[in-house]
Structure 1
């Protein structure tokens, strides 16, 4: 069996969910990163499904679209809950996170709204819903005491939002405890600390970093 190859830009972005899942679960993978608009990327995209990343290649197969890749890995590596209800709940949580991410993206890339509105209204509204959903199940993860694919998406989103405002999680104790716990995961800690030390950008623009 070959080692999976993840193709994405040299930023965190949407590909970071996949990197975190691989890293936390000790899954060896090849992390192939492109500089945005580089000749190498322009050439590589010609052969990719939809001509976009993230793209995952493994055992002669190619997978595109972030949600597709994450759910595929969830099924393969038993990170999708234990019942159909679990899987549906995780899917719902993921879709909510994706909607919230789009609000962040519209601010970062399209200058839609203000930082003050995003930090004090838009994101807190999202976080209020996520806090309620997170508390439906007991345990330190979204569902119980075993991580799921959605936990990596939630963690990355929370971490991204703390770059906008370091105190943004203070009113959401369950989410903050989860975020702090994930930073201490044995397989994640060294990776996250190196990522921080290297100053890896969240997006292809520096806006939103501090």
Structure 2
């Protein structure tokens, strides 16, 4: 039995970055898929510490809160920078991505088609901090922080790939980010996962059905 279990809805949502990280690190995991109908019954929700999913199990350790899970995996696999300074930068990138994702969620929960148009207008400004950080690190030819992959890279990649589903071809306007995505996607184990039916057929959001 694999030591890791992901309990989540039938979507990428908060968990695809965890799956990408585990796959790229050569790990296996078990999925426990929770339908929206089952979640609506309330029993599982009541058993979750904060009344939320994902729930993540690493052996006998049970974790909630997706960012805590990512930080745990970052520490477990050496994906948290080479020193304290890099770790602080990784945290900063992750927090910036959290802000962007919360903004995206608030925009799209109301009127998807209308929000999709408005959000595209905002996208250059929203992506600029990540382009800046990338450019400052070896001219954009490396990772978002330092010279080794971190959990923040998986999270940024997940966000950029999800945007590609909503706005096919948008990365053509962001050559630095486009090259970054291409480099990460070429990593053999990550490439295999990203091309798998499990990833390709999994929607971004169970609720929004995108």
> TM-score, normalised on structure 1?
0.88
Q: Which runs of 5+ in 2 are unaligned?
A: none
Query: In the superposition, relative to structure 1, how do residues 206 and 199 fare at CA in structure 2: closer, same or farther (>3 Å)?
Result: farther
Where 1:144 maps in the other structure, the secondary structure is coil
Where 1:37 maps in the other structure, the secondary structure is helix
Query: What is the rounded CA distance, in whole Å, between the counterparts of 2:30 and 2:199 in structure 1?
Result: 21
Corresponding residue for residue 187 of structure 1? 189
Query: What is the rounded CA distance, in whole Å, between the counterparts of 1:170 and 1:201 in structure 2?
Result: 23
Query: What is the rounded CA distance, in whole Å, between the counterparts of 1:39 and 1:150 in structure 2?
Result: 29
Query: What is the rounded CA distance, in whole Å, between the counterparts of 2:47 and 2:87 in structure 1?
Result: 32
Query: What is the rounded CA distance, in whole Å, between the counterparts of 2:169 and 2:208 in structure 1?
Result: 20
- Does residue 118 in structure 1 map to residue 119 in structure 2? yes
Where 2:31 maps in the other structure, the secondary structure is strand
Query: What is the rounded CA distance, in whole Å, between the counterparts of 1:39 and 1:110 in structure 2?
Result: 21
Given that residues 108 and 115 in structure 2 are in contact (C-alpha distance below 8 angstroms), is that contact kept between their aligned partners in structure 1?
no
Given that residues 34 and 40 in structure 1 are in contact (C-alpha distance below 8 angstroms), is that contact kept between their aligned partners in structure 2?
no
Query: In the superposition, relative to structure 1, how do residues 194 and 140 fare at CA in structure 2: closer, same or farther (>3 Å)?
Result: same
How far 1:129 sits from its partner (Å)? 1.5
- Does residue 47 in structure 1 map to residue 47 in structure 2? yes
Structure 1, 22-31 or 152-161: larger mean CA deviation = 22-31
Given that residues 183 and 189 in structure 1 are in contact (C-alpha distance below 8 angstroms), is that contact kept between their aligned partners in structure 2?
yes
| Of 155, 165, 168, the match for 2:167 | 165
Corresponding residue for residue 80 of structure 2? 80
> TM-score, normalised on structure 2?
0.88
Query: In the superposition, relative to structure 1, how do residues 39 and 54 fare at CA in structure 2: closer, same or farther (>3 Å)?
Result: closer
Higher relative contact order (CA 8 A, sep 6+): 2
Matched residue count? 207
Given that residues 119 and 168 in structure 1 are in contact (C-alpha distance below 8 angstroms), is that contact kept between their aligned partners in structure 2?
no
Query: What is the rounded CA distance, in whole Å, between the counterparts of 1:51 and 1:114 in structure 2?
Result: 28
Corresponding residue for residue 13 of structure 2? 13
